[in-house]
Amino acid sequence: MNSPAESTAQPHNESTDARISVRNLWKIFGKNAGSVIGTDLADLDSETVRKRTGATVAVRDMSFDVHPGETFVVMGLSGSGKSTLVRCMTRLIEPTSGTMSLDGEDIAACSPQRLRELRRSRMAMVFQHFGLLPHRRIVDNVAYGLEVRGVSRAQRYERAREMIEMVGLAGHEDSLPGQLSGGMQQRVGLARALAVDPEVLLFDEPFSALDPLIRRDMQDEVLRLQRELHKTAVFITHDLSEALKVGDRIAIMRDGELVQTGTPEDLVGSPADDYVRDFVKDVSRTAVLTARSLARPALPGEAEDGPAVPAATVVDDIVAPLADGTAPVRVTGAGDTVLGYVGRDDVLRLIAGDRTADAAKAAGGQSEPRRPGDAPGDPVGA
């Protein structure tokens, strides 16, 4: 329904190196679910479909790939279908149609037994409200996945203790979940998911129920674990700063549809439409854009011996080296090759841009075309 979205909705049509590959996934709730897909109704917006058939379109024709070791964030407001999407991926909710493959094997088509095998060893999920078993000790909660798989008590306790140690809860093995704080409980949830050593981790708004400070700790924890373990992760959140912090790539969902998929830099640097632009307008671009995006050839007469920074450095972090001297920084890629230069003027111009945008926002408050929370379905492209 909006043209910029469609161009990004299916970024990789065929991808052989994808760990997870979702194609044309639909989830429609309600009695007439079957009567929507493949008919004219499929082209209508969700509100109209609901009025005509009583069926609710939660996920609409989604396709995307997640690569090994990547943290893929799906972000959207509540009701955008993101939690339904992640549940469809492990079939906690049965998708209405479409395929999700894990290393080429279609999860949507596998038998209940095979699905259990996949859940027991290949993919594990972390939940917003933890879903711990209050009657079991922490060690038994963490060992649960191994227990249902049939691992012996000694082995699974050993593994569980390792995991508890890894998430920083050593000493709490024999506590009950109710004795731990929310943040600690979610660490247990994380340990439980990691205990089965899955290739894929699914996070469903794991930190939304936590206090802001604890949330930041937990985000750092996930980043640390990802650096050590390199799991493939699908991470659902409604918090943009969380998405930008943990995501290698981010997919923005709206009304069950993908609006844009890209790196944080893509989203902030070139939002696909007004919806995404509105989302990211409060993000300081200097905190997201990298040296690579500002790099340019050296200007005539410019000093070429400034400090070197890796291409992935965010702009905020090259302010200090720039302040130390007058020479522009050298942006280096793999093997210390110089990709280009970034000078004080470039950074100032970017900061000025942020400020102007803020000022324009403050001035034009009411005339803004739309906000992310607007009524769904009003056509943007029209």
Partner 1 sequence: MATAQPAPSAPPETAGPSPSGHVPGADGAARRPPGTAWLANRWVQAAAAIAVLAAGYAAARALGTPAWLGTFPDATGQWLIARLDGVYTWIVANRNSSPLFLYGFNYVSVGLGSAVILVNQALVLLTWPGVVFAGTLAAWRVAGWRVALLVLATFAVFALTGLWNEAMTTLALITTSVLIALIIGIPLGILAGRSDGFHRAVRPVLDFLQIMPAFAYLMPMLLLFGIGNPAAAVATFVYAVPPAVRITALAIRNVDAGAVEATTSLGSTPWQILTKVQLPMAKRTILLGVNQTIMLAVSMVVIASVIGAGGLGDAIYQALSKVNVGQAVEAGAAIVLMAIALDRVTGAAGDGTRTPLLPAPWRRAAPAVGLAAATAVAATARLVGIEGWPPAWSISFSGPINTAQQGVQSAIGDATGAFGDLLLVGVLNPLSALLTGTPWWLVVLVAAALGAIFGGWRTAATAGAAVLATGLLGVWENSMDTLSQVLVAAAVTLAVGVAVGILAARSDMLAAILRPVLDAMQTLPPFVYLIPAVALFSVGRVPALAASVVFALPPVIRLVNDGIRGVSAHAVEAAVSQGSTGGQLLTKVQLPLARSSLLLAVNQGIMMVLSMVVMGALVGAGSLGYDVVFGLKQNQLGLGLTSGLAIVCLGVFLDRVTQGRRSNA
Q: What are phi and psi of 87, to 5 degrees?
A: -70, -35
Residue with Cβ nearer partner 1 (2 or 121) = 121
Report the alpha-carbon distance of residue 206 to residue 214 in Å, rounded: 12
Residue with Cβ nearer partner 1 (35 or 121) = 121
Residue with Cβ nearer partner 1 (116 or 224) = 116
Report the alpha-carbon distance of residue 161 to residue 172 in Å, rounded: 10
CB of 99 to partner 1, least distance (A): 19
CB of 14 to partner 1, least distance (A): 29
Report the alpha-carbon distance of residue 68 to residue 15 in Å, rounded: 12
Binding site for partner 1 (CB under 8 A): 90, 92, 115-121, 124-125, 127, 129-136, 144-145, 147-149, 189, 192, 196, 202
Q: What are phi and psi of 118, to 5 degrees?
A: -60, -45
Report the alpha-carbon distance of residue 8 to residue 258 in Å, rounded: 8
Report the DSSP beta bridge partners of residue 252.
75, 260
Residue with Cβ nearer partner 1 (17 or 94) = 94
73 with 237: CB under 8 angstroms? yes
283 with 354: CB under 8 angstroms? no
CB of 213 to partner 1, least distance (A): 24
CB of 339 to partner 1, least distance (A): 43
64 with 251: CB under 8 angstroms? yes
CB of 115 to partner 1, least distance (A): 8
The separation between CA 295 and the C-alpha centre of its own chain, rounded to angstroms, equals 27
**Angle value at C-alpha 33, between 31 and 37, nearest 5 degrees:** 160
CB of 121 to partner 1, least distance (A): 8
Contacts of 365 (CB under 8 A, 6+ apart): none
| Farthest CA pair distance, the chain | 72
- The letter for the amino acid at 324 is D
Residue with Cβ nearer partner 1 (50 or 129) = 129
Residue with Cβ nearer partner 1 (125 or 291) = 125
- The letter for the amino acid at 238 is H
Report the alpha-carbon distance of residue 113 to residue 289 in Å, rounded: 46
DSSP for 95-132 reads -SEEEEEETTEEGGGS-HHHHHHHHHHTEEEE-TT---
Residue with Cβ nearer partner 1 (52 or 135) = 135
Report the alpha-carbon distance of residue 286 to residue 266 in Å, rounded: 13
Residue with Cβ nearer partner 1 (124 or 272) = 124
Query: What is the DSSP secondary structure assignment for residue 200, as one 8-state letter?
Result: E
Report the alpha-carbon distance of residue 272 to residue 215 in Å, rounded: 29
Residue with Cβ nearer partner 1 (198 or 306) = 198
Residue with Cβ nearer partner 1 (175 or 263) = 175
CB of 132 to partner 1, least distance (A): 7
CB of 161 to partner 1, least distance (A): 18
CB of 126 to partner 1, least distance (A): 9
CB of 92 to partner 1, least distance (A): 6
